[in-house]
Amino acid sequence: MDKMIMEKMEFYGYHGVFPEERKLGQKFYIDTTFFFDLQLAGKSDDLNQTINYAEVYDVIKGIVEGHSYQLIEALAENIASIVLKTYTKIKEITVKVTKPNPPFDIHFSGVTVEIHRKSV
């Protein structure tokens, strides 16, 4: 199956278990891979035959910046669920959520969860 990949979208959100995270917020990086047939769009050069990634970006931004989750797993799950329901052309989705600055005295470049879901 064909793929459309949106990498390292950066948003400011209020997600975390600790009250400070949910009050102060921080950056989150989102990567998505959409699995669907791109052949007709490629042959026709018609935006209506594909997914408008600018619109998908706005949907994801609304989820990340408009809601608050304790777990980045829940954030990833909601992104996957809403995108699959909104864009029925997408048959499968992979969502990666990276929290680059978790509130721990640990030195690494962040924590990432990655999920893969299929439309039902």
Q: Would you please indicate which residues are annotated as catalytic (active-site) residues? A: 99
Helix-helix angle 72-86:53-66, to 10 degrees? 140
Residue spans of beta strands (DSSP E) within 1-120: 3-13, 26-35, 92-99, 111-118
Which residue do the tokens 């909104």 mark? 86
Token code pair at residue 50: 């594909």
Distance (Å, whole) CA 102 – CA 14: 12
